Structure 1
Amino acid sequence: MNFVQIRDKYYPDLVAIAYSTLMIEVNEENESDFSLVFKLGKDEYKLGCSELAIIWGLPNQGCLFEGGKTPIGDWGYSKENAMGIFNLTQGTHTKIPCNPMWVEYRTLLYIISYIFQPRVSGPATVCDEDLIIMWAMVYNIKINWPYFIVQHMIRLKKKETSGGLGYLCLWTRIFNRVGIDLTNEKVKHVPSQSCIDIRLLRKMGRGAIEEGQEDQETQEAPPQA
């Protein structure tokens, strides 16, 4: 939850430059031994997986999973089974509306689509990548989250997905870690309505029930995320 509630200031100009020079260096003998590399001016900065895990407050012990990729075979994943678990049905034009989902899964989808794997479209519909990540979370499959995020950063840089620059506040923590002087840089603040905290999650839960969902206690209990 601490990671979800990160609310640091962000520096859009610096983030844009960092993304333009962003690279990932992977040890061919051990893929989990990777580094995020970027340049600002003449200076190059490099942060390894374990260091990113510390500054972002995320676990780095687990599968090297990339969003958009087929999940590892021993996950036991299938799209059909996932849609059944999350109470989903296929909509028109291959889109999957999130309305039928139970409250806890809609909340999880919100966090995934805005924080773990940000995209412009948000959580109005469920995509295949969402289903895979939710499956992993529900069944407690360990994921190397710094690796997942850095790989998504590379996708954002290549514009393979519509998530804007993404991870703005995570970049602030990187800049602070490597000692970049931010005094005279253009700074912005995350608006309060964009912050995710306990109050918002509770409000989302109440709102879903008010929209007409049945009392969850009368439904078959789904797997716990």
Structure 2
Amino acid sequence: MENDYYPDLVSGSLSSLRFVGTTDGGYIEAFMGGRVRVIPLSAIASLCNLSMDGVPFRGGLRAHDSWDNYSLQEGLATIGYRGNVIGKLSVNLVPTEIRILHYLLTYTILPRGGNHGVIQHEDVLVMWAMLKGYKICWPFFIIQHMLKFQGKVNKPIGYGPLWSKIYKYLGVDVQGARKVVIDSRRCIDATTIKQMRRQLEQQAQGVDEVDEEENRLEEEEATQMGQEEEGQPGPSSSSQEQPTMRDIMNAIQAMELNMNQRMDHYQASIDQRFQNVEREQRRIWRSVRRMEAWTFNEELNEDDNQDEDDD
């Protein structure tokens, strides 16, 4: 994805967005660059590096007709939900791997505002389909979910970076438009997942250096990124390796390890801060006691006379 997007332009495009289904997948119409433009769903798939294979699922609470064995209870059992089905479904009641998968899902494929700690029924259905190996036509699904952002004022804009790629693909002039830059460290793409997978394999094998094949792959990725930055077309989406479910689950495990390490570091930092606060409180208390002793001509006891550096 691009590392920036244009909120005002996207809001205008979303308000006029319309999807037209056809036998070859369909296309979208939207107001861009002063006029209504058309972009086929296959172009969206290419821009996202996604395949058109799979069920054209619109999302929602109802399973696709070909998924006749789905029920909410079946979905919750598949994701390992341990709580009560009545009421809101808490993300804290599923295994760590599913929590991270839900995080990736609700921030990338199903972006939304509000509380990401609640698992919606649609989330259960989509995760169930992914874990069961059912193919979803993700470009179609993304467009259907994109339509849900229409008319929502003061809400996060879903797929902002994707719109930037659409504008670039259509040659829409974005000069002078308000731009929001996204920190590249927050982006998750196929390259990130493959790098995480390599790190896991190296850790499991106790290997400190990558082999020649991995170096070759990294050089090819760097070359491709350089071509894209210079405006040159990279390899087509059909020639690029698509991340598999194994890649995603390996990435989830790597993220879990990283999160645990960060939490340990964060806990140590909090403990140190509490110690600093307690030390400062003792120093303040001693200063107040000295002021009181000086004011009332009292003598300090041994604790009050203790040097502050002893802490």
Q: What TM bracket, shorter-length normalisation?
A: 0.7 to 0.9
Structure 1: 5+ residue stretches without partners: 1-5, 212-225
Would you say the 8 A contact 2:55–2:137 is kept in 1?
yes
Deviation at 1:69? Answer: 4.2
Matches within 5 A, 1:102-181: 102-159=95-152, 164-181=156-173
1:24 aligns with 2:19: yes
- The correspondence for 1:64, drawn from 53, 56, 61, is 56
- Do the aligned partners of residues 88 and 74 (structure 1) sit closer, same or farther apart at CA in structure 2, a change above 3 Å counting? same
Deviation at 1:207? Answer: 3.6
Letter in 2 for 1:164: P
Deviation at 1:102? Answer: 1.9
Letter in 1 for 2:143: V
Mean Cα deviation higher: 11-20 or 180-189: 180-189
User: What are the Cα deviations for residues 96-152 of structure 1, in whole angstroms up to 9, with x where unaligned?
Assistant: 111132222111101111111111135312110000000111112111111111111
Q: Which has the higher contact order (CA 8 A, sep 6+)?
A: 1
The structure carrying a bigger helix percent of its residues is: 2
**What RMSD over aligned residues (CA atoms) do the two structures have, in Å?**
2.8
- Do the aligned partners of residues 208 and 72 (structure 1) sit closer, same or farther apart at CA in structure 2, a change above 3 Å counting? farther
Letter in 1 for 2:9: L
Mapped partners of 1:81, 1:181: distance in 2: 48
Mapped partners of 2:108, 2:64: distance in 1: 23
1:190 aligns with 2:182: yes
Mapped partners of 1:205, 1:67: distance in 2: 31
Mean Cα deviation higher: 123-132 or 95-104: 95-104
Letter in 2 for 1:17: G
The structure carrying a bigger strand percent of its residues is: 1
Deviation at 1:156? Answer: 1.3
2:60 is paired with a residue whose SS is coil
1:33 aligns with 2:25: yes
Structure 2: 5+ residue stretches without partners: 197-250, 264-311
- The correspondence for 1:14, drawn from 9, 27, 32, is 9
Deviation at 1:85? Answer: 2.1
Deviation at 1:53? Answer: 0.4
1:33 is paired with a residue whose SS is coil
1:115 is paired with a residue whose SS is helix
1:94 aligns with 2:87: yes
Deviation at 1:51? Answer: 1.1
- Do the aligned partners of residues 139 and 92 (structure 1) sit closer, same or farther apart at CA in structure 2, a change above 3 Å counting? closer
User: What are the Cα deviations for residues 159-188 of structure 1, in whole angstroms up to 9, with x where unaligned?
Assistant: 4xx963211001001000000122322211
Would you say the 8 A contact 1:110–1:122 is kept in 2?
no
1:73 is paired with a residue whose SS is coil
Count of matched residue positions in the alignment of Structure 1 and Structure 2: 202
TM-score scaled by structure 2? 0.58
Deviation at 1:204? Answer: 3.7
**Largest Rg, 1 or 2:** 2
Match of 1:45 in 2: 37
TM-score scaled by structure 1? 0.78
Mapped partners of 1:126, 1:80: distance in 2: 14
- The correspondence for 1:83, drawn from 50, 56, 76, is 76
Deviation at 1:41? Answer: 5.2
Deviation at 1:33? Answer: 2.5
User: What are the Cα deviations for residues 73-93 of structure 1, in whole angstroms up to 9, with x where unaligned?
Assistant: 332211112212222144597
Mapped partners of 1:204, 1:71: distance in 2: 30
Would you say the 8 A contact 1:118–1:163 is kept in 2?
no
Deviation at 1:209? Answer: 9.7
Would you say the 8 A contact 2:27–2:40 is kept in 1?
yes
